[in-house]
Amino acid sequence: MSPFLLVRVLAFIPSFFGSTGDAVNERQLLIALTKKVDKCYVVTLIGFKQLLTKRRTVLKLQRPKNLTIIPIPVPQVHPLTTFLAMVSISCFMSIIVASLNALGRMKTDLIYTRTSFFSIGFLTFKSSAKKTIVKIPSITEEELIVSIPMKLLIRKLASFLDRLALAKARKIAVHDILFYKKFVRLRSLKHNDEPLEIPPGVDLNLIRKARSLEGRWPMRNSTNIGFLGSLTWWQGADILIQAIALIKNNYPQIRLYFIGDGELRPEIEKMCVALNIPYTVTGFLPHEEALKYLKIIDVMVMPRRKTMTTESVIPLKLIESWAMRVPVIVTAHEVLKHKYKDGEDVLYVEPFPKDVANKISLLLSNKSLREKLSSRGVLLAREFSYDAIANTILKSLR
């Protein structure tokens, strides 16, 4: 597809510089998009710690020259604080953009926002609403660990903003059409057009680079079971630990690698120590460093709990594991079952320790099955190129 050289994009995302899957996904998508347009401006939130400490080095990420980042410091005190900041920033920036457009100083062809919280200001103006794509990545209130009154408050706010997006945005973007169907039923409103399917993706050039690099690892003498992602309740890291406890005597060289970080890290570490399971928690890593760790993983396990979001969204870490030739054990989510075969593409599991333990044992004891899943994964990952996903977004302008 030829570049849309005259297109100018304005994007609003919660995190451009972060190490979470959401941040990595949006960053890579926008970089791929920027390579096809004349100019891209990205407004993003950034924590004070990230801005004022040694973590500010991530702000120097290599990026295209026509990509301008506008980081806005926001105190990371509470989820509600972040949501209200996003709403305020959206309203403020929409007024600035509308004024610049009226003066002929800044022509914007596409406004891309992740979550409806960042879209409210632009949906208020008809001129900007018709250019706005609102990406709905999840059910906001579903993943929060907050008090019940606070969750009810956030649910009401999220519901109002989601319905506003469904009513006024040019396009609604989702990871998968299955999620969209559940989303519109939950919010009791449907957009007047078909949604854009924008799944998580992979930068195939970055994957090839990560696979070709010589590892800096010592001589391996362990069987490494991997967990990639945030250490949050719905990801199921605790289920994986309990599963390993059931089989560790059969695999004395087994070791758990948690590639990531999160609020449950102290609890995860205590569980591993109490159950005498060798483990490593990497903490948040730059994306390229996280990919390097996949080179030493024998089996990736994703025992995510079943929620409305996890049942309907293909996880980025699954695609990256495929691309890095790592065989995957994953919860039998609805979004996966109707596309990918058990024992051919992945090995499905129910998110319970005994079933997870059985599937890990099956894969560790069956070399031909591991090789089959590894080979198949590389082919599946090619379907999720960011280049193709960026083209999908730009086609929506026609």
* pLDDT, tens only, 101-124: 777 777 889 999 999 999 999 999
Q: How large is the C-alpha radius of gyration of the chain?
A: 21
Residues 245 and 354 in one domain: yes
Tell whether 396 is covered by a domain.
no
Give the CA distances from residue 155 to residues 147, 152, 237, 345, in Å, rounded to whole numbers and listed in that order. 12, 5, 26, 36
The pLDDT score that the predictor gives to residue 61 is 67
Residue 180: CATH number of its domain: 3.40.50.2000
Place of tokens 């483990």: 279
The number of helices, as runs of H, and strands, as runs of E, in the chain is 16, 13
Cα 195 from Cα 173, distance rounded (Å): 5
Residues 376 and 348 in one domain: yes
Domain count, the chain: 2
Tell whether 235 is covered by a domain.
yes
Residues 47 and 153 in one domain: yes
pLDDT digits (tens, 9 = 90+) for 191-223: 999 999 999 999 888 888 888 765 444 446 789
Average pLDDT, the chain: 90
- Provide the residue range defining the domain that includes 115: 4-198
Tell whether 392 is covered by a domain.
no
Tell whether 398 is covered by a domain.
no
Q: Which residues pair with 9 in a beta bridge?
A: 40, 110
The pLDDT score that the predictor gives to residue 51 is 64
Residues 145 and 94 in one domain: yes
Tell whether 395 is covered by a domain.
no
pTM for the full model?
Answer: 0.85
pLDDT at 398 over 50: yes
Residue type for position 328: V
Cα 113 from Cα 312, distance rounded (Å): 20
Cα 270 from Cα 277, distance rounded (Å): 10
| Last residue of one domain, picked from the residues 198, 229, 248 | 198
Residues 45 and 126 in one domain: yes
Residues 168 and 211 in one domain: no
Please state the rounded mean pLDDT for residues 286-306: 92
Please state the rounded mean pLDDT for residues 262-276: 96
Residues 111 and 218 in one domain: no
| Last residue of one domain, picked from the residues 198, 226, 260 | 198
Residues 316 and 286 in one domain: yes
pLDDT at 11 over 70: yes
Residues 282 and 189 in one domain: no
Contact criterion met (CB below 8 Å) for 374 and 366: no
> Which of these, 29, 250, 26, lies nearest to 118 by C-alpha position?
26
Residues 36 and 165 in one domain: yes
Tell whether 218 is covered by a domain.
yes
The pLDDT score that the predictor gives to residue 62 is 72
Residues 193 and 264 in one domain: no
Cα 54 from Cα 369, distance rounded (Å): 44
Express as a percent the part of the chain with pLDDT over 90. 72
pLDDT band at 328 (very low <50, low <70, confident <90, very high): very high
Residues 173 and 240 in one domain: no
